[in-house]
Amino acid sequence: MNKRADVQQLETTTTSGADQLREIRNIAETARFIDQLDPEAPLTHNLIREIHRRVVDGLIREGDPTPGSYREQEVAITNSAHVPPSWVTVHPEITTLLDFANASKPLHEQMLQRDGLVDPDESAALRIALTTGVIKAGDLEPIVPGSPARRSRFIRSLRERSLLQQAEEGPRFYRLSLSRGPLAPRLIRRLDALGYLPRMLAND
For 122, residues 6+ apart whose C-beta sits below 8 A from its C-beta are 154, 157, 158, 163
Q: Domain residues of the chain, as ranges?
A: 2-68+87-102, 107-194
Q: Could you tell me which of 35, 68, 72 has the C-alpha nearest to residue 51?
A: 68
Instruction: Provide the CATH topology of domain 107-194.
Output: Arc Repressor Mutant, subunit A (1.10.10)
Distance of CA 11 to the CA centre of its chain: 41
For 191, residues 6+ apart whose C-beta sits below 8 A from its C-beta are 197
Quickly state the pLDDT bin for 175 (edges 50, 70, 90): confident
Average pLDDT of the segment spanning 80-99: 84
11-15, 19-23, 85-89: segment of lowest average pLDDT: 11-15
The contacts found for 118-122 with CB under 8 angstroms, 24 or more apart, are 118/163, 121/154, 122/154, 122/157, 122/158, 122/163
